[in-house]
Structure 1
Amino acid sequence: MIKSRSLLLAIATTCLALIGAALYLQHVKDMLPCPLCVIQRYLFLAIALCCFVGAIGDKPRLGAGLGLLGALGGLGVVGKHLYVLAHPGFSCGIDPVETVLNKIPTATALPWLFRADGLCENAVDTLFGLSIPQWSALWFVLLTGALVYLLVRRQR
């Protein structure tokens, strides 16, 4: 049986790898992140942080629970992103969310990671048949499932 700490570390590593993939797409493939993409980055980082702290601390279930909140938040954000893509003409475009996101300290200190410059409706390029928001949704579902598994299984 998989140990809680090992699975939490695997989840944290996966989230960091997903951030690395997003940075590759942004800086090498010139796919600018939109506000919803940036919020998803924050949530992947939050999941990674919670799982890492849970894995090295005394309370792995607490780390899994907090990570689950981040994963559920990610499902909500990516759901909105998929809605925007499914309904042409509906846009998150230049809106107050982008302005707020680009002015918070993390975005001003690390603009290469957290600056929202793209439009949500432009995320139509595919990778293996799925758009980037669809891939994000798939990963949030998988992470949610893994974290729920950690919370409901018997401790060993």
Structure 2
Amino acid sequence: MNSRNVLLVTAFVCFGLIGVAMYLQHVLFLLPCPLCVIQRYLFIGIGVACLIGYFGKSPKLGAGIGLLAALGGLGVVSKHLWVLAHPGLSCGIDPLETALNKIPTATAMPWLFYADGLCENATDGFLGLSIPQWSLIWFVILGVTMIWLLLRKRA
């Protein structure tokens, strides 16, 4: 499989993960917290970067941008897991949530980017792992994929 095809598949995976987030929010009524919303932005960022690499002249450029977004995602999800591991802490209604909900994408698409949940409530899980733990796994997989594409000799 060539690099462009890997980028395209990776973009579809990222947008599929956003579809899962929409299902969790709108069907299972799990409200996203500010850290969840930031993770959504980063998954979309990886997907868009992969599309840039797929359609652009340099697949490595897309992989590089995607890697930066994946690393950002690892940082955000690590903070989220830290909050979950320390009961009594919250990232709830705070300046981050207020600022995040004023970003134009949040006002234009609140069904996707509006944060109104609490970080410490993200313990509902699937197959024994919480949603942030699944995000961590996916950010690792996506980051390793981007590194593999960057280190790969052939395009």
Please report the TM-score for the alignment, with normalisation by the length of structure 1: 0.98
| Aligned-residue CA RMSD (Å) | 0.6
Deviation sequence 1:31-86 (CA, Å, 0-9, x none): 00000000000000010001011101111000000000000000000000000000
2:132 is the alignment partner of 1:122: no
Aligned equivalents of 1:135 and 1:33: distance in 2?
Answer: 15
2:26 is the alignment partner of 1:31: no
2:125 is the alignment partner of 1:112: no
Aligned equivalents of 2:63 and 2:154: distance in 1?
Answer: 13
Partner of 1:73: 72
Identical residues among aligned pairs (%):
66
SS in 2 for 1:22: helix
Partner of 2:94: 95
Deviation at 1:153, TM superposition (A): 1.5
Q: Which runs of 5+ in 2 are unaligned?
A: none
Partner of 1:22: 21
Deviation at 1:126, TM superposition (A): 1.2
Deviation at 1:26, TM superposition (A): 0.1
2:56 is the alignment partner of 1:57: yes
Q: Which runs of 5+ in 1 are unaligned?
A: none
| Count of residue pairs the alignment pairs up | 155
Aligned counterparts, 1:136-155, within 5 A:
136-155=135-154
